[in-house]
């Protein structure tokens, strides 16, 4: 009997081991353990026995950065559609409610994530893992749901459009970027949102929602072995698509001059803002810029806060610099009451930012900024539920361990590093300035698309055909046979070939010598400059008169000179 019990236990252990045999441990950092499945799914476990809840958070490596032409807002729209159900989970909102879950989904530049926080029970955990595994590949993405969801996304869009600070921020960031998709807002373009074909949305879903493009994180109070077994059971059956993923490759060129954006809409508050291009979150300079940002905008010690808020030139200031996978930005916004001088605020804003070159960050400012930032990070790391979703930012930027690397970099940052970084990026040619001026009657013109183009062109016949002209043999003998030559009384030699050209066109070519090797020595580009002046007017006709007469004749003249020859 004893042998049988031991044998049974061994079978059980083997069964558990095999049940998550696909999951291979990668690393452990400060209580978070990473596993990877054969299908490419990454799994992060962060147990916290002091918690009474579990948070399941899945991050997909797709955001607005991955959207193509006509797809602006597709990643965010898809986030809404994934809540519309699957054949196995047809009513996700009802299920979330019945399990007492606090759920949400968010979309950003580099990632989209979905999470549920619920009471720590085995049943709730199995349900949440089953839901996330199922909607990764089996979401309906149906046309009827798309039509109903339009109104929800449209309301979000219009809410943003009615917020001057948000609109100005979008315009400034858009102006700051020429090519990279960080210049496009995550909410997207209204016409793309409203017109996207359901087939395109399905293709986007199939392309990016796959196990090898996702990171699953479970935090809170749970049994690790049971959870690994459940993850293997729910996600192990998902296949890795045969088509490999390709990342975006657009590189934003360096900005080579200060830009400005002026926005005029209905509103009460004036706004002044500034944006600077900055490195990606994984770059060491990002940590240095985080310290600079805090030293500038922190309340009440920040330089900009003191210069603008304490001096009562403005009412409030805020800033943010997203932790992005590719080079991002620092954005600073200043609210200016209508009775204050926004021009003076812009001047002070620029002066304070430019002054860092000659008035570097002090040791006191560095120590205070470090303390502020490290306190925020520490408080997040102590909250397992929030940490589960917070990690999505770093996952989207390349790897979850960047959260710890960022903390360590801030902790070890030197004063010299901070000031060298500030001098490098806080320069006027790397800056875009934004201004919002409230007005009661804004002037805008909506540019309409042409309607019913087919009706416009279907019965059009045009004017008289110009003909096809005469096929002409350009051989030497053929040219000589049709060439009439002669000499004018002033000594100008001429040659005429008469042929039928399309539209009865006449072409005249005139060439004359304007010097020899001796006379043109050391003249440089004088001959070509002289030729360019020949169409600028004469003693009897102005330049405009010549242009008008040529237009009446439907003709044009060009001049050039080189190597002692003038051609017209």
The pLDDT tens digits for 364-420 are 999 999 999 999 999 999 999 999 999 999 999 999 999 999 999 999 999 999 999
The pLDDT assigned to 158 comes to: 82
Please answer whether residues 222 and 48 qualify as being in contact, where contact means their C-beta atoms are separated by less than 8 angstroms. Answer: no
The mean of the pLDDT values for the chain is 92
Domain locations along the chain: 37-235, 259-438, 476-567
- pLDDT in the model for residue 205: 97
Q: Which residues of 85-97 are buried (b: 16+ CB within 10 A; e: fewer)?
A: bbeebeebeebbe
24 forms beta bridges with 36
Closest by CA position to 151, among listed 163, 159, 139: 159
Instruction: Determine contact, residues 348/340, Cβ cutoff 8 Å.
Output: no
d(CA 156, CA 107): 13
Superfamily (CATH) of domain 37-235: Metalloenzyme, LuxS/M16 peptidase-like (3.30.830.10)
* DSSP letters spanning 456-480: HHTT---S-----------SHHHHH
CATH architecture of structural domain 259-438: 2-Layer Sandwich (3.30)
Positions in the chain short of pLDDT 50: 1-20
What are the φ and ψ backbone dihedral angles of 491, each rounded to 5 degrees? Answer: 95, 0
DSSP letter at 533 equals T
> What is the distance between the alpha carbons of residues 160 and 155, in angstroms, rounded to a whole number?
9
**Short-list 126, 117, 89, 118, CA closest to 230:** 126
Q: Say what the pLDDT of residue 502 is.
A: 86
Which regions of 309-401 does DSSP assign to beta strands (E)?
316-320, 328-336
pLDDT, tens digit (0-9, with 9 covering 90-100), for 115-164? 999 999 999 999 999 999 999 999 999 999 988 887 788 788 888 888 99
Q: What is the pLDDT of residues 43-102, one digit of tens each?
A: 999 999 999 999 999 999 999 999 999 999 999 999 999 999 999 999 999 999 999 999
User: Which pLDDT belongs to residue 458?
Assistant: 93
| Whether the domain at 37-235 and the domain at 259-438 fall into the same CATH topology | yes
3-state secondary structure 42-99: EEEEEECCCCCEEEEEEEECCCHHHCCCCCCCHHHHHHHHHHHCCCCCCCHHHHHHHC
The residues that bridge with 34 in the sheet, in sequence order, are 27, 44
Question: Is 559 in contact with 568 (CB distance < 8 Å)?
Answer: yes
Where helices occur in 397-442 by DSSP H, the ranges are 402-412, 415-425
CA distances to 36, 46, 495 from 25, in Å? 7, 13, 88
What pLDDT, on the 0 to 100 scale, is given for residue 21? 52
Helix axes 284-297, 363-381, angle to 10 degrees: 110
| Residue 477: per-residue pLDDT | 86
CB 561 within 8 A of CB 530: yes
Per-residue model confidence (pLDDT) at position 4: 43
Q: How far apart are CA 304 and CA 131, in angstroms?
A: 47
- Measured CA to CA, the distance from residue 73 to residue 75 in angstroms comes to 6
């Amino acid at each position: 009997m004893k042998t049988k019990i031991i044998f049974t236990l061994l079978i059980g252990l083997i069964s558990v081991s095999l049940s998550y045999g696909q999951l291979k441990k990668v690393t452990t950092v400060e209580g978070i353990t990473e596993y990877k499945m054969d299908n490419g799914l990454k799994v992060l476990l962060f147990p916290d026995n002091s918690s009474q809840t579990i948070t399941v958070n899945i991050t997909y490596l797709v955001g607005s950065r991955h959207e193509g032409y006509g797809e602006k807002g597709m990643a965010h729209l898809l986030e809404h559609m994934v809540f519309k159900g699957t054949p196995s989970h047809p009513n996700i909102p009802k299920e979330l409610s019945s399990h007492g879950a606090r759920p949400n989904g968010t979309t950003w530049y580099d990632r989209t994530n979905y999470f549920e926080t619920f009471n720590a029970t085995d049943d709730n955990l199995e349900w949440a893992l089953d839901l996330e595994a199922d909607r990764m590949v089996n979401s309906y993405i149906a046309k009827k749901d798309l039509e109903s969801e339009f109104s929800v996304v449209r309301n979000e869009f219009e809410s943003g459009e009615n917020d001057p600070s948000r609109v100005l921020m979008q315009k400034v960031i858009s102006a700051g970027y020429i090519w990279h998709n960080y210049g496009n807002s995550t909410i997207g373009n209204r016409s793309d949102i409203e017109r996207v074909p359901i087939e395109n949305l399905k293709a986007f879903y199939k392309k990016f929602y796959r196990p090898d493009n996702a990171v699953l994180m479970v935090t809170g109070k749970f049994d690790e072995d049971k959870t690994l077994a459940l993850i293997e059971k729910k996600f192990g059956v998902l296949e890795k698509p045969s088509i490999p993923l390709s990342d975006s490759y657009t590189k934003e060129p360096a900005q080579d001059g200060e830009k400005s954006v002026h926005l005029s809409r209905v509103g009460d508050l004036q706004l002044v803002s500034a944006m600077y291009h900055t490195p990606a979150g994984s770059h060491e300079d990002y940590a240095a810029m985080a310290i600079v940002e805090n030293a500038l905008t922190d309340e009440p010690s920040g330089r900009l806060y003191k210069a603008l808020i304490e001096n009562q030139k403005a009412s409030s200031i805020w800033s943010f610099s997203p932790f992005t996978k590719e080079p991002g930005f620092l954005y600073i916004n200043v609210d200016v009451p209508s009775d204050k001088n926004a021009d003076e605020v812009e001047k002070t804003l620029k002066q304070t930012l430019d002054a860092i070159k000659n008035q570097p960050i002090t040791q006191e400012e560095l120590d205070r900024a470090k303390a502020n930032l490290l306190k925020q990070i520490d408080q997040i790391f102590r909250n397992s539920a929030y940490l589960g979703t917070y990690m999505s930012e770093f996952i989207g930027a390349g790897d979850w361990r960047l959260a710890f690397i960022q903390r360590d970099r801030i902790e070890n940052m030197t004063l010299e590093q901070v000031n060298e970084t500030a001098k490098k990026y806080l320069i006027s040619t790397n800056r875009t300035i934004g201004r919002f001026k409230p007005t009661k009657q804004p002037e805008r013109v909506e540019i309409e698309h042409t309607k019913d183009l087919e009706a416009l062109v279907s019965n059009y016949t045009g004017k008289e055909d110009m003909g096809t002209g005469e096929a002409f043999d350009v051989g030497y003998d053929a040219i000589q046979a049709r060439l009439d030559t002669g000499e004018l009384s002033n000594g100008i030699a001429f040659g005429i070939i008469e042929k039928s050209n399309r539209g009865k066109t006449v072409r005249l070519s005139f060439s004359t010598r304007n010097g020899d090797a001796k006379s043109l020595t050391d003249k440089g580009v004088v001959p070509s400059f002289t030729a360019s002046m020949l169409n600028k007017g004469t003693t009897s006709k102005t330049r405009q008169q010549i242009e008008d007469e040529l237009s009446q004749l439907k003709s044009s003249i060009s001049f050039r000179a080189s190597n002692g020859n003038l051609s017209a």
